[in-house]
Amino acid sequence: MNVARHLGALVLLTSGAVAWAQDGVEIDFHPTDVQIKEMQQSCAVSDTGMLALGEKVSAAVADWRKATAASAPAVALKQLDGFFERVRNDGGLSGRKAMYVLCIEKALRQFVDSQRDRPQPVEGSGSSSPLRRSTFASEEDIWHSGCQQAESDAVSRLQPRCGDRTLVVVSSECAQLTGSVRIYTAEINAECRGR
């Protein structure tokens, strides 16, 4: 790689790192309290006892968010029905109230699905095994091999953070090294995409 290309890639990566620092917070697929209130308002029905039912639904949603905070979206969605089943089994649900509960559950599912569709930025690093310069034909060969190993290591470390989604590398940086034995390190920016 010539110096101009290397510097260009470094500038591009540095710009990307600044952007990642600004919005590199992992995406939480759970709705906020405000979003939940909006769902409840849009699903609202006129019936006696709605205040108490609204509180039960709010409690079920809060318990679900807490229980699935570290879960993948697909796992959280599977557990959602169980939390709403408690509300349904509590009794006293007229047809309108049952429709209200179903409406909230459906809105939550749609919200989580829309969040899962958004790419989630992740970043990390990986290392190569120690490489001897004498076993490679050129500097370019050892650098290419070392960086490939380091990037693969970084990808394998980041993949679990994507759960059932696909990890796609957006950018990677791996510096050239000197010495008879070298361990290369790759810093990668990636996105969890799809489902």
Predicted confidence (pLDDT) at residue 16 exceeds the cutoff of 60: no
* Residue 126, helix vs strand vs coil: strand
Predicted confidence (pLDDT) per residue in 47-63, tens digit: 787 888 888 999 999 99
Tens digit of pLDDT for each residue in 127-171? 999 999 999 999 999 999 999 999 999 999 999 988 778 899 999
Q: Which amino acid is at 123?
A: E
In angstroms, the CA 157 to CA 160 distance is: 7
Whether 165 and 193 have beta carbons less than 8 Å apart is answered as: yes
| All residues at 6 or more sequence positions from 99 whose CB lies less than 8 Å from its CB, including other chains | 45
Paired tokens of 52 = 């108490």
Closest CA relative to residue 91, chosen from 40, 52, 39:
52
8-state DSSP, 147: H
